[in-house]
Amino acid sequence: MTRTEFWQGNIASAEGALAAGCRFFGGYPITPSTEIAEHMAAKLPKKGGVFIQMEDELASIASVIGASWTGARAMTATSGPGFSLMMENIGYAAMTETPCVIVNVQRGGPSTGQPTMAAQGDMMQCRFGSHGDYAVIALSPASVQEMYDLTAKAFNLADEYRVPVFLMADEVIGHMRERIIIPDSVAHTGRPAFVPGTPPFRPNENLVPGFPVFGNGYGTHVTGLTHDERGFPCATNPQLHAALVKRLVDKIESASEKLADFDIVNPDAEQVFIAYGSPVRTVQQVLHDHPDSSIGFLRIRTVWPFPAHALSIFKNAQRFIVPELNLGQIAREIERYAKVPVVSVPKLGGELHTPKELWKILEAGA
């Protein structure tokens, strides 16, 4: 059985987290993500969970990391300046392979920017924002339904790969209201099993170590320093450091095709839109308004790791058109893999592209 709801995107994200078994939220209110924290504050205690408002975003992500090591599914939600403050500890989560979910309802920046307006300016920050080399998973919803579904999915991915997973929403999707279908339950995958007596950071065949839960009798050392398989610091060994960091990246990048989540429209098209997040909706309107036109569309849900293999599906493509609410962040990533010209269509200021704007670009290239 399912039920129908009419929810705001941020509420749908919170409900998706609860359905996925999230039982800890550590955060600090910031527009336009605050409704997620407010909803979790009201609902988590009723489910035996813990909500805590920390003094700032640095402490918020630290509390999430600590909660995760007790075995709890843990998350936070933020935007703009708060996301920037979390970056050092996000790097710590990547190095310690701590499963956690970070929802970023993006707003215009830099700095305080446009707190109530939509943007997609943090897409590179979520991938490269902390120092050093590492890899993450980032999902991008384009509807209220996907705020629910992809938040729930994020917890499974975080557990399976022992990695921070980002839900990279934006103000439009976070604050809009739509009818959505709520399932009776969502799938739950566990963390990789830890075998007592083995080194706690020894990877399995998927390059992911088993997860020893604090309080279950395992003596595990957790450090942000370069560490060996026992978890002990070993920061002056070049070979060990290289092997560790390469594994942290490879466990995600080698699974890029498995992690890929995208839709294809008209794979034989010569002109192809590529979009994620709220610009998806404008492209969908263009397709709706011109049903007889030969327009291709690659709609991406998993932005990181980037699904480069999806580009090769469009064998007749003459160019890719990429509308984004930034100055072309993912368009540059597409250029790394595309064998045809990539047309970036940037837009700043908080307003979506209009169907007319995108149609003009198609006509100019026809």
* Predicted confidence (pLDDT) per residue in 228-275, tens digit: 999 999 999 999 999 999 999 999 999 999 999 999 999 999 999 999
For residues 59-77, average pLDDT: 97
Share of the chain above pLDDT 70, in %: 100
Residue 364: pLDDT band (50, 70, 90) is confident
Within the chain, which residue ranges are assigned CATH 3.40.50.970? 2-183
Residue 216: pLDDT band (50, 70, 90) is confident
Q: How many helices (H) and strands (E) does the chain have?
A: 13, 15
In whole angstroms, give the CA distance from residue 2 to residue 12. Answer: 15
Closest-CA residue to 307 (of 70, 82, 137, 112): 137
At 292 the pLDDT is 83
In whole angstroms, give the CA distance from residue 167 to residue 105. Answer: 8
Residue 50: C-alpha distances to residues 27, 60, 73, 142, 313 (Å):
11, 13, 11, 29, 45
pLDDT at 90 over 70: yes
Decide the pairing of beta strands 2-8 and 177-183: antiparallel
**For 143, which DSSP code?**
S
Residue 89: pLDDT band (50, 70, 90) is very high
Within the chain, which residue ranges are assigned CATH 3.40.50.920? 260-365
At 325 the pLDDT is 98
- Sign, CA dihedral 170-172-173-175, equals positive
Residue with tokens 């959505």: 180
At 1 the pLDDT is 78
Closest-CA residue to 33 (of 178, 173, 182): 173
pTM above 0.85, yes or no: yes
**For 264, which DSSP code?**
E
Q: What is the mean pLDDT of the chain?
A: 97
At 366 the pLDDT is 62
* DSSP labels, 201-258: T-B-TTS-B--PPTTSS------SS-B-TTS-B-TT-HHHHHHHHHHHHHHHHTTHHH
User: Is CATH 3.40.50.970 correct for 2-183?
Assistant: yes
> What is the per-residue pLDDT across 123-168, written as a single tens digit (0 to 9) for each?
999 999 999 999 999 999 999 999 999 999 999 999 999 999 999 9
At 183 the pLDDT is 95
Residue 218: pLDDT band (50, 70, 90) is confident
At 17 the pLDDT is 98
β strands within 19-136, DSSP E: 22-27, 50-53, 73-78, 100-108, 114-118
C-alpha angle 43-48-51 in degrees, rounded to nearest 5: 55
At 280 the pLDDT is 98
In whole angstroms, give the CA distance from residue 176 to residue 8. Answer: 5
* DSSP labels, 117-137: EE--TTHHHHHH-SSSS---E
pLDDT at 21 over 90: yes
At 240 the pLDDT is 98
For residues 180-184, average pLDDT: 96
Q: CATH number of the domain at 260-365, please?
A: 3.40.50.920
In whole angstroms, give the CA distance from residue 143 to residue 177. Answer: 9
Between 187-196, 274-283, 316-325, the lowest mean confidence (pLDDT) is in 187-196
